[in-house]
Structure 1
Amino acid sequence: MAIARQRRFWTLALIPALTLATLAAGLPSWALGALVAVQAALLWSALRDALALGARSEPRGHALMRDRKGVLDLLNAQGLGTAQGAAAALAVRLDDAPRLARQLGATSFAALRDTLAERLALSLRDQDLFCALETDGFGVALQAQRGLDLGGILAVAQRIQSRLSAPLPINGVTLWPSVSIGFCLSPRAAMLNGLDMLQAAEAAAERALRSGPGALNSYSVVDFPSTMTGDRVASLRRALENGEIRAYFQPQIEASTGAVSGLEALARWQHPQNGLISPGEFLPQIEAAGLSPRLAERMLREALTALKELDAQGLQVPQVSVNLSAEELRNPRLADEIGWELDRHDLAPERLTVEILETVVARGEDDIAVRTIARLSAMGCGIDLDDFGTGHASIANIRRFAVGRIKIDRSFVTNMHADPDQQRMVAAILSMAAQLDLGTLAEGVEHPEEQVKLAQMGCGHLQGFAIARPMPASDLPGWLRAHLAALEQGEPWVENAEDARQAAGPHKP
């Protein structure tokens, strides 16, 4: 469209030459006047089109700039994670803004902000968004991408600071603006104080301004501890004691045979008034209230009880796995307590697997956690490394923590049947695991074709909605019998693929 308009404009520009040629040919004056009138009308039409085209060619900053709601919509949609990772929020604040506003006056200060907005847009990708903050700055939503970790955020923040700090002439004076930036990578950390990610980033930016100029600050539960009320803590404690918060179980299968190889115990809150509450809402509050050890104790007992009851019904499940946080692993008595529970339920240690996050292994300096895990491994318990690929654990620490199996994070699994890049990532993880003699389990399998592809690639075990959703212990016997019957008849056992996709979401935080 723009090219066509340009050609039309330049074609019309030849009309004066044609007019001169007509004049030289000796046409009557009325014909010449008519030609001039037509030329004027056509030139005005072309000029109007050119002006309209220019008005619609917005600067890049206008294309990325939204209102606050637009930025929050992106963060809310992707904050807890997608197949490509998790989104992040930044708050960019102009250092010494009150003084600059007084010095420049309203008009020039507005021009400064407009220029900074254009520079900010040039620092972001087309899919990222930003908005103006009520304070002197901008809120930024970085769309989810793999590898958007602390290092990636710092690189983006430094790029923004470099671009926005370039000299800027205003009213004959050269300004050297600088900005301080706060950022939030964890929506769960923000939830602890009832904030959204952008509000958390603004709180971090406020702290950065006080450290300024050109400072960076992150929002974390360490720097901004939770403001849990006594009533909320009491509510969580009651839910743990009366069984509202209890274990649900998600089956795991062998990829090559379809046989059930284990169960994972996952915390769920069945609230009497609000129904099933997402673990992403209550688990951060459990941690902030100091109730994580109490939750771990309940999950362990319910997991071992479920395994024992299945044994009594002749439904053999090789093992059950429970998740333990870094705080729980720092309990020097944890291995003894787990040993007592195994004895009380008359179960061999091999029937229990402990799942630890890769972020725990990445922080390999925690000697108490190392000793605890080493004792559990020596007892015979399995050690699974959860969410592999998201925490940058070194191979040395994987060995140091006696890891026996890695769980491939769902961000690598989702849509891998149709994405060659995803397949190459999974193939690299499987190759590394084979070289280190580690078992493998892919989590977040939500499509039957993902299940088939992973089995073809040599992944050992599978877990996800395409196989089974988490279920209460009372539903396990029925599911196990139906699954066994399907295997005996040679039928593949997957739930309806469309149902699996609609129900897909984080299985656990």
Structure 2
Amino acid sequence: LAVMFVDLDRFKPINDMMGHKVGDDLLRRVAERITEVMGELAVVARQSADEFILFAPDVSAGEAEQLGQMMVGMLAQPYRVGPYELSIAASVGVSCYPEHGLSASRLLKHAELAMSQAKRTGGSRALCYDPNMQEGEEERHALEQDLRRAIERGDLLLEYQPQLNLDTREVSAVEALLRWRHPTLGWISPAKFIPLAEETGLIQPIGQWVLKEACRQMADWHARDLPLTVAVNLSALQLRHAGLFNDVYQALAQSGVEAAFLELELTESALMENIDAMLDTLREFDELGVQLSIDDFGTGYSSLAYLRHLPIGELKIDRSFVKDLETDPHAAPIVEAILAMAHSLGLSVVAEGVETDAQFAFLAAKGCGYVQGWWLAKSMPAAELERWMAEYDIGAVAERISQARQPRAVLLG
């Protein structure tokens, strides 16, 4: 017997934006495809909102995983629901009797565990249960509990990375970057704990703390004649949260910072996934005076038609393009195209991850307005940033810029 746990990816945004009737109709189409794949002998049940459980007799683990992968492909095909053509994806977990359990509860638990692993490793795939997943799940659960306590224990903190204005040679803005210092494990990579926070819903209270702390720190700097703008990243889940505008408004009101000094960075893919639902909120931010920026630009699928009408003032070129400037002949034309488009739309541009003289020289020559990265400075705690700013020598930076622009800095493309 094979047990399969199917979870639909990206169903909630469709349900939220287009209404429950469209969502219900889509679920019916999904159920039809699942039964088509599984055949008459299998039992197909809907477990909850967008989860299905299947029971297939006389199916081995290898056969079940193949069936699961076939199902992933079938469910990914577009659906016609009324006037809409919709696309979703699925993650599938598989467990088999008797190898993976002798009771219904254990087989279901292991199938769900395999599904969660499939989702965490990118989704749109089927995975068969492996006992090693249990160990990883226990470690993840322990880390989740520690993350829940991290705010109250003061384990979370913000570091700030300066951005250089190439026209003025001044540093007037920084990006706030979240860090977690675990009491026993030491520094935990954001690449590990941010996805965990998003999966568990902890990103919401953590995001509120980040907004309040960034604004509090800004107010402290402004009171001491350090009028920095601070950029704060928003996750896809924060963008979908109905209380986002109120969170930002409260952080500004409590700190007393002018809205124009706060910049919100929205990732390109998250923004475009929720664009229709987000438009009113983005306009509210614009009316409030908050600056808006599209982060990781070039890695998603922005519609230029939308881009023309969004109240966005800045694009951030993804660091992957900057890193590849010296090794990939295709990176330079992409960066040039982004810069040309931004200039034509009247948007400023920040290049992230600038580390070498050659990267900097190329960006400066092509008219990039701002750079951020180790070429200028690493991210630092607030006190260290203050010392760095006090020692900042605009003349020395101008000399570095001049040297970087020498002909020896050559790039592919």
Common fold, TM-score beyond 0.5? yes
Deviation at 1:469, TM superposition (A): 1.3
Superposed CA deviations along residues 300-319 of structure 1, whole A, max 9, x for unmatched, are: 122112222222333332x1
Query: Paired residue for 2:259, among 327, 337, 349?
Result: 349
Is the 2:169–2:398 Cα contact (8 Å) retained in structure 1? no
| Structure 1 equivalent of residue 196 of structure 2 | 285
Contact 1:192 1:285 (8 Å CA) reproduced: no
1:331 and 2:241 correspond: yes
For the residue of structure 1 that corresponds to 2:247, the secondary structure is helix
| 1:375 CA drift (Å) | 0.5
Report deviation, 1:417.
Answer: 4.5
- Cα deviation 1:314-333 (Å, max 9, x = unaligned): 3332x101111232123333
Q: SS of the counterpart of 1:269?
A: strand
Q: Distance in 2 between matches of 1:399 and 1:227?
A: 47
1:462 to partner: Cα distance: 0.8
The secondary structure found in structure 2 opposite 1:299 is helix
Match of 2:395 in 1: 487
Partner of 1:300: 211
Amino acid at match of 1:356: L
Partners of 1:196 and 1:329 in 2: how far apart?
Answer: 21
How far residue 420 of structure 1 moved from its aligned partner, in angstroms, is 4.1
Q: 1:242 aligns with which of 137, 153, 156?
A: 153
Deviation at 1:340, TM superposition (A): 2.8
Partner of 1:361: 271
Larger radius of gyration: 1
Match of 1:253 in 2: 164
The match for 2:320 among 411, 426, 450 is 411
The one-letter code matched in structure 1 to 2:375 is: A
Which structure shows the higher strand fraction? 2
Residues 487 and 417 from structure 1, CA distance in 2 versus in 1: closer, same or farther, beyond 3 angstroms?
farther
**Is the 1:250–1:470 Cα contact (8 Å) retained in structure 2?**
yes
Task: Give SS of 1:360's match.
Answer: helix
Counting only pairs closer than 5 Å after superposition, residues 7-46 of structure 1 correspond to structure 2 as none
* Shift in CA distance, 192/231, structure 1 to aligned 2, threshold 3 Å: farther
| 1:466 CA drift (Å) | 1.7
Contact 2:314–2:348 (Cα < 8 Å) also in 1: yes
5+ residue gaps in structure 2? 1-36, 39-60, 67-71, 78-89, 93-112, 130-136, 403-413
1:201 CA drift (Å): 7.5
Q: Return closer, same or farther for 1:401/1:274 CA change in 2, 3 Å cut-off.
A: same
2:250 maps to what in 1? 340
Amino acid at match of 2:210: M
Tell me the SS of whatever aligns to 1:464.
coil
Aligned residues: 299
RMSD: 3.7
Contact 2:115–2:126 (CA<8 Å) still a contact in 1?
no
TM-score, normalised to structure 2's length?
A: 0.63
Q: Is the 8 A contact 2:114 2:127 kept in 1?
A: no
Distance 2:165 2:187 in 1: 30
Alpha-carbon offset, residue 493 of structure 1: 7.8
Q: 1:191 to 1:417 in 2, by over 3 A?
A: farther
CA separation of 1:137 and 1:333: change in aligned 2, threshold 3 A = closer
Q: CA deviation at 1:271?
A: 1.3
Structure-1-length-normalised TM-score: 0.52
Checking the alignment, whether the CA contact within 8 Å between 2:163 and 2:370 is kept in structure 1 is: yes
Residue 497 (structure 1) aligns with:
none
* Per-residue Cα deviation, 1:205-249 (whole angstroms, up to 9, x for no partner): 669xxxxxxxxxxxxxxxxxx999765433111112222122111
CA distance in 2 between partners of 1:493 and 1:464 (Å): 14
State the partner residue of 2:126: 204
Would you say the 8 A contact 2:91–2:119 is kept in 1?
A: no
Q: 1:274 is aligned with what amino acid?
A: L
Match of 1:171 in 2: none
